[in-house]
Chains A and B, each alone.
Chain A
Amino acid sequence: MLSNRERKIVERFEKSRKIQSAGSLRSQIGEEETFFTMMRRMARENKLAVFSAIVILLIILAAILAPVLTPYSYSDMDLMNRLSPPSSAHLFGTDEAGRDILTRLLYGARVSLLTGVVPTIMSMLLGALLGVVSGIYGGWLDDLIMRLADITLAFPSMLLAMVIMYMLGDGLINVFLTLALVNWASVARIVRAQTLQLKKTEFVEAARVIGVRRGKMIFRHILPNCLPTLIVLFTLNVPAAILTESSLSFLGLGLQPPSASWGLMVNSGRQYLYAAPWLSLAPGIAIMVSVLAFNFLGDGLRDVLDPYQKK
C-alpha cells in the first residue's frame, strides 16, 4: 500500500494525464507545449520559482568559486580571533576556533549541494529502476522488491540514517550512501504504482499489439511517461536530503570537524548560542534558504508539469 504522499503524487499525475488527453480547452486552442514554452510559462506565472532558480544558481557559483571569493581557509584556526562578531574583516564573524564563518559557509555549500544532489540521483536511479522492473515484471521479483521497500520504510528515516551512518562510519561518501539507501524505497513505490497505471493504458496495449518487447517498452513508453513525476520527486528529494545531512551532522554523525558542513556548524555553535548567536544562525539560515529555494522551484515545476492545475 502506498503512503499518503505517494498516493497523492501518483493520483495527481494519473489525473493530469487524463486531463491532458481529454484535451480540454488547451487542445482546442491548439498551442504546442514544449519544454521551453513550459519554462517560459513558469517564468511568467511563478516569479518565486524563477527567483529560487537564481538563488540556487548563486549558491552553486558560490560553492564552485569559494577559494576565489574568500582569502581565508575553511580549516585554519586563528585562536586570537575566536568568536569575533561580524565585522568588515569577517562579514559573518568567526567561530570558536577563529575560522571565518563566511568562508566556512561557502565551502559548506559544496557539502550541502553535493549531499542534496548526489544521493538523490543515486536513490532515484535505483528507485526508478527497481520500481519499473517491479511494475513490469511482477511476480516474485515484485514481491521481493516491494517487501524490501516496506522494510526500509518501516524505520523512521532519521533513525535509519543514524544506524546506517553508525554502521558505515563517518565521511562524505558514507553520507551519500546512507541518504541513497534511506530514500530509494519511496521512489521505487511511486514509480511502480505509475508503471502499473501506465501498463493499463491503451497506448501501452497498442505497443503490445505491435509486438514491442517488454524491455523496449520500459524505455520507449514507461520511463518517458514517468519523467514528470521523477522531475518533481527530484526537486522534493534534494531539499529533504540536504535537511537530513544537516540533521545528521548536527547530531555529530555526518561529517566530522574541521570539514565545513552547515549542520555541523550549527551544532558546534550551539554551545555559544547565547554569547555568539551568529555561529549557529548563519549556517541555519543558509540551510533554510537553500531548502526553501529548492522547494519553491519544485512547486513551480510541479505546477507547470501538471496540466491539472492549469487554468
Chain B
Amino acid sequence: MADNTLEIRNLNTSFFTQHGEVRAVNDVSLDVRRAQITGIVGESGCGKSMTARSVMGLVRYPGRIVSGRIRLDGKEITGLSKKEMCSLRGNELSMIFQEPMSSLNPVMKVGKQVEETLRIHQHVTKEEAARRTEEIFREVGISDARSRMACYPHQLSGGLRQRVMIAMAMICKPKLLIADEPTTALDVTVEAQILSLMKRLCEGGTSILLISHNLGVIAQVCDYVYVMYAGRIVEQADTCTLFDHPVHPYTRALLGAASSLRSGAARLETIPGGVPNLLHLPSGCSFSPRCEKCARQCQNEVPQMLPVSGEGHLARCYFANVPEE
C-alpha cells in the first residue's frame, strides 16, 4: 500500500481564452499523505483552486488539463472515462467548496442532498440512507440531526451549511477529501470549530487536501504545506519547517507579511509590485520581478525544485541553499 493517497505529477491546466492560453496550473507535482492534512497556500489567482478542480475532474470550459498524471491511492485517474470518474467522485474522492450557501441546491432539503451521495454510489434502501445521514450529521457535529435534515439550505447558518457540505462529502467514507477554502466565508469562532472538525476527520483516517489563502489556517491544521505562486509550486515542506525556516523569497515575504501584523511594528511588511499576469508570465522565475535577490539566471530560466537541508523540504529558487548572510 502506497503511503500517498494522492499523487500529482507534472500537472498542467490551462484556460484557452481569446487572448491566449492562461496557465492556471503550471507543472504542479504534489502528494497527499495518508491520514494527514496537506495544505496548499497562496494568494488569490495562484492556481490552488484549479489544482483541486483538476483532481476532481471539475475544470470548466474553456479550461482543461493539458498534461500530467494524477494517481489516487496508487490508481491512475487521468484518462478515466466520464462514467468511471463519476463513480469515484463522492465515493473515494470528494470535495467541499468555499461558499456553503451557493454550493447547496436551494430547492432541495439538505437531508435529501446528503442521502443523494450515498444513493448514487451504494444500493441502500431509503430508510437505510436516512439512518446513515442522521448518523453522519451527528458525526460532523450537527445537533438535532433529524429536524435539520428536513431544512432547506437557506434556513441554516453558514457554519451549519458547511457542516452539511462536509457530511455530504464524508458519507461514503472517501479516501481523499479536498477542502477548497472551507472556512473563508465563516466567522472566526465558527471557523475554529470547522477546522477542529477537519482535524478530527483526519484522525479518523481521511486524507485531506486543504486549500487556503490564510496562513493561520494552514499553520493550525496542516501537516505538510505547498506554497503556490502564479500557477507553480515554489516551496514545499512540513508545516513547522516551512514556518520556521522558509527559503523561497516569496514564502519569506508572505510569512513576513502575516507575522508582522502581530509583531507590533509600526510599518507592516509587504511585497513590492503585484501578482504577475498569468497570460504573460515573466520568463524565468515568476517571482523574479518582485524579488530583491533576483540575479540574471533567475530572469532567464525557470528554476527547478531544489532540495533544501531538512527532510522533504524543496524550493524553486537558485538561492535555496545559499546561507543567509
Q: Which residues of A contact B (CB under 8 A)?
A: 25, 28-31, 311
Contacts and interface: CB of A to CB of B under 8 A. Distances in A.
A29 B19 contact: yes
8 contacts: A25-B17, A28-B22, A28-B45, A29-B19, A29-B279, A30-B277, A311-B17, A311-B18
Contacts of B19: 29, 31
A29 B277 contact: yes
B238 to A, nearest CB: 32
A25 B15 contact: yes
B323 interface: no
B106 to A, nearest CB: 14
Nearest to A24: B45
A311 B45 contact: no
A29 B45 CA distance: 12
B62 interface: yes
Main secondary structure of the interface of B (DSSP, over half): loop
A311 B278 CA distance: 17
A29 B18 CA distance: 11
B202 to A, nearest CB: 32
B277 A311 contact: no
B277 A28 contact: yes
A101 B176 CA distance: 74
Contacts of B17: 25, 29, 311
Interface size class of B (residues with CB under 8 A): 10 to 19
Contacts of A31: 19
Contacts of B45: 28
A110 B298 CA distance: 69
B199 to A, nearest CB: 32
A311 B279 contact: no
A28 B278 contact: yes
Nearest to B18: A311
Nearest to B62: A311
Contacts of A29: 17, 19, 22, 277, 279
Contacts of B278: 28
B277 A25 contact: no
Given A25-B22, A28-B279, A29-B279, 5 more contacts: A28-B22, A28-B45, A29-B17, A29-B22, A311-B18
B247 to A, nearest CB: 28
Interface string B270-304: 00000001110000000000000000000000000
A28 B278 CA distance: 8
B166 to A, nearest CB: 26
Interface string B10-37: 0000010111001000000000000000
Nearest to B276: A28
A166 to B, nearest CB: 46
A25 B17 CA distance: 9
B80 to A, nearest CB: 27
A31 B19 CA distance: 9
A30 B279 CA distance: 10
A25 B279 CA distance: 10
Nearest to A45: B18
A127 B19 CA distance: 39
Contacts of B15: 25
Nearest to B280: A29
B299 to A, nearest CB: 22
Nearest to A41: B18
A27 to B, nearest CB: 10
Nearest to B61: A311
Contacts of A25: 15, 17, 22
A25 B19 CA distance: 10
A244 B172 CA distance: 59
With most chain A CB atoms within 10 A of its CB, the pick from B17, B277, B278 is B17
The 7 closest A-B pairs by CB, nearest first: A29-B19, A29-B279, A311-B62, A28-B277, A25-B17, A28-B45, A28-B278
Contacts of A28: 22, 45, 277-279
B17 to A, nearest CB: 6
A25 B47 CA distance: 12
A36 B274 CA distance: 29
B253 to A, nearest CB: 21
A121 B15 CA distance: 42
Nearest to A311: B62
B102 to A, nearest CB: 12
Nearest to B63: A25
A303 B61 CA distance: 18
A181 to B, nearest CB: 39
A45 B19 CA distance: 14
A69 to B, nearest CB: 41
B93 to A, nearest CB: 26
Nearest to B15: A25
A28 B279 CA distance: 8
B48 to A, nearest CB: 15
Nearest to A44: B18
A28 B43 CA distance: 14
A37 to B, nearest CB: 12
B181 to A, nearest CB: 15
A309 to B, nearest CB: 13
Nearest to B45: A28
A29 B23 CA distance: 12
Interface in B247-281: 277-279
A99 B109 CA distance: 68
B49 to A, nearest CB: 12
A30 B22 CA distance: 13
